[in-house]
Amino acid sequence: MRFSPFIKDLLSKQCHCPLHNSADCQTLALDIESRTGNHLGVNTVKRLLGFIDDERQPRVVTLDIIARYLGYDSWEALSLVDNVNGNSGFGSCATEIHASDLKPGDRVLVTYQPGRSLVLEFQGGNSFTVIESENSKLLVADELSIDHVVQGYPLLVSSVVRAGQNLGSFTAGKVQGVEFKIL
């Protein structure tokens, strides 16, 4: 389980820390303990924020500690607020773009932490080509299959083709999500 962008944002604001890297998890774990009197391991915090790939379900007591840290009575109460604030729902919002909304040649700037950016050129269908890449594992000329991009959520690339070889799927911005702008 990983926290939603809404809950990550609440945690970041509560501990006055950006939660961009593993060291920030130590700061958060210490702040949780100092404010609640309950200890959470740094690796638990890293898992919940997506710094460690691990899909283990946390114990309810752990989630309740997080909820109390954020000023809620329980994880259940926090989850209700999370759902109202966009964790679940139907319809589209202004903070997402679908490949079908673009015309071939349109360019999209995608940024994510820490200090990564991509300029993607839409080719048609759900195909994009990386035109510029800064600090990313994706390289210029990589061909990407992307259905849509959502502000504040990870960028899900269903396939990456590099020099004719399919490298498989790729996820960018796993922890903080991505920001985008049509150029």
pLDDT for the residue numbered 85: 53
The domain segmentation of the chain, as residue ranges, is: 5-87, 96-182
pLDDT for the residue numbered 51: 86
pLDDT for the residue numbered 78: 80
- Angstrom distances, CA of residue 86 to CA of 1, 83, 95: 17, 6, 11
| Highest mean pLDDT of the ranges 45-59, 67-81, 109-123, 148-162 | 109-123
pLDDT at 57 exceeding the cut of 80 = yes
Give the per-residue SS3 of the chain: CCCCHHHHHHHHHHHCCCCCCHHHHHHHHHHHHHHHCCCCCHHHHHHHHCCCCCCCCCCHHHHHHHHHHCCCCCHHHHHHHHHHHHHCCCCCCCCEEEHHHCCCCCEEEEEECCCEEEEEEEEECCEEEEEEEECCCCCCCCEEECCEEEECCCEEEEEEEECCEEEEEEEECCCCCEEEEEC
